[in-house]
Amino acid sequence: MSEVDMAVIKPEMMKSYIWLQTVDGSIQQVEQEVAMFCPMICHEIIQKGMGSSKNYAISLPPRVNPSMLSLILDYCRFHQVPGHSNKERKSFDEKFIRMDTKRLCELTSAADSLQLKPLVDLTSRALARIIEGKTPEEIREIFHLPDDLTEEEKLEPLKNSTDDPRIRLLNRLYARKRKELKQREKLKNVETEEDRADERSVEDLLSYINGGHRDSKGDKTSKGKKKNRRRKDQQKNASVEEFIETHEKDSDGLNFECHGAEVDKLQPNPGGTSKLPGAEDDTFPHKVEFDDGDIDDEIDPALKEKIDREVEDFARRLNSDWPERMQEILSLGQERRPVNGNGSSRKYARPDSEWK
């Protein structure tokens, strides 16, 4: 401990030391004037009288690990000396923040927990410089961010999305799919409502069983139930699988055109930003009976996942073969082609027909 030696040799230069303890338990001694540069430590010393001895070491916040602490102390040691010129400070700062991104983030976090604002500003600026001008993929790569957004969500917000036909189509497809699933969900919910301990429907059941007075809701439910059971078996998962199936088959071009064509025929383009969740076309609500309520809440998350995956797949395909597809669409026009299997295309084209 050379500082201690020095203190012995030159008593007039004796500095006072502060004891700091990091979250991993290790304790170290730091010159007081250096440590006091951090407001949090300063506060601990002055207001709580801590830090004067090993037993009363100041516990630093968990985000400050020993290596970060030493970096921060280096920073403090330089800056707390009043003699440096602004230029010197700037060049020190420039050199100081040259480190890999991981450490930079840890440093920002540690500096923030010690309330060392100048260092937080410095590191924030450095992080902003890293982010600026990069594509989302690059940024995700640098910061190890999970790529957990749907394709739809990844479309750049605030862009004039009516310009890009891809987005329009994607929007429409997504909206249709969600509508499908929402309807299915409603059917499912109606059933599960009866299974759950929902007082009203149990009463209804009882009254129905007892042949008593039924309110209109009960009526609907039971009728719906019959219909739904049939439908559920046939439709629900089947069509979802079909959708995936038809994608995976290499008649991509065909499917795409089909749906695109159908979509074009039936739904006027509302345009608008893809960012609004649950954006729906105007035509449908009038044809189908809906309960009110938030669309998003009613879709089962697992199902939602599925939709997202499908749309993602779809979008990926879109993104890769867009020019060719465009050609195909334009040349083939609105021609409708039958798709293998259960005429799934027809299902998507006119879901309302299935209700009647």
**140 interacts with another protein by CB under 8 A:** yes
Choose which of 145, 202, 206, 326 interacts with another protein (CB under 8 A). Answer: 145
Closest to another protein by CB, 271 vs 333, is 271
**132 interacts with another protein by CB under 8 A:** yes
CA distance 190 to 224: 8
CA distance 306 to 109: 37
Closest to another protein by CB, 150 vs 207, is 150
12 to 51, contacts with another protein by CB under 8 A?
none
- Return the structure tokens found at 12: 């007039």
233 to 292, contacts with another protein by CB under 8 A?
273, 275
Closest to another protein by CB, 130 vs 190, is 130
Amino acid of residue 309: R
Complete DSSP assignment for 211-226 = T----HHHHHHHHHHH
Scanning 53-61, 137-145, 287-295, 338-346 for contacts with another protein by CB under 8 A, the matching segment is 137-145
CA distance 170 to 142: 29
Scanning 85-93, 157-165, 318-326, 329-337 for contacts with another protein by CB under 8 A, the matching segment is 157-165
**166 interacts with another protein by CB under 8 A:** no
How many residues touch another protein under the rule CB under 8 A: the total is: 35
Complete DSSP assignment for 60-104 = PPTT--HHHHHHHHHHHHHHT-TT--HHHHHHHHHHHT-S-HHHH
Question: Which residues are bridge partners to 29 per DSSP?
Answer: 19
Choose which of 11, 83, 146, 323 interacts with another protein (CB under 8 A). Answer: 146
Choose which of 2, 160, 216, 331 interacts with another protein (CB under 8 A). Answer: 160
Choose which of 40, 45, 149, 266 interacts with another protein (CB under 8 A). Answer: 149
Task: Judge contact between 161 and 167, C-beta under 8 A.
Answer: yes
Task: Judge contact between 200 and 194, C-beta under 8 A.
Answer: no
Closest to another protein by CB, 82 vs 133, is 133
Scanning 148-156, 170-178, 215-223, 298-306 for contacts with another protein by CB under 8 A, the matching segment is 148-156
CA distance 222 to 240: 26
Task: Judge contact between 60 and 23, C-beta under 8 A.
Answer: yes
- Return the structure tokens found at 122: 């410095």
295 to 334, contacts with another protein by CB under 8 A?
none
Choose which of 143, 234, 271, 327 interacts with another protein (CB under 8 A). Answer: 143
Residue spans of beta strands (DSSP E) within the chain: 17-21, 27-31, 58-59
Choose which of 4, 88, 99, 136 interacts with another protein (CB under 8 A). Answer: 136
Task: Judge contact between 161 and 325, C-beta under 8 A.
Answer: no
Tokens 């909206």 -> residue: 175
Residue 165 CB, nearest distance to another protein (Å)?
17
Rounded to a whole number, what is the largest CA-CA distance in the chain? 103
Residue 158 CB, nearest distance to another protein (Å)?
5
HSE (side-chain half, CA atoms, 13 Å) at 63: 14
Nearest Cα residue to 144 out of 99, 100, 113? 100
Tell me which DSSP letter residue 11 carries: G
Residue 39 CB, nearest distance to another protein (Å)?
15
61 to 120, contacts with another protein by CB under 8 A?
65, 101-102, 105-106, 108-109, 112, 120
Choose which of 60, 76, 127, 187 interacts with another protein (CB under 8 A). Answer: 127
Residues that bind another protein (CB under 8 A): 65, 101-102, 105-106, 108-109, 112, 120-121, 124-125, 127-128, 131-133, 136, 139-140, 143-149, 153-154, 156-158, 160, 273, 275
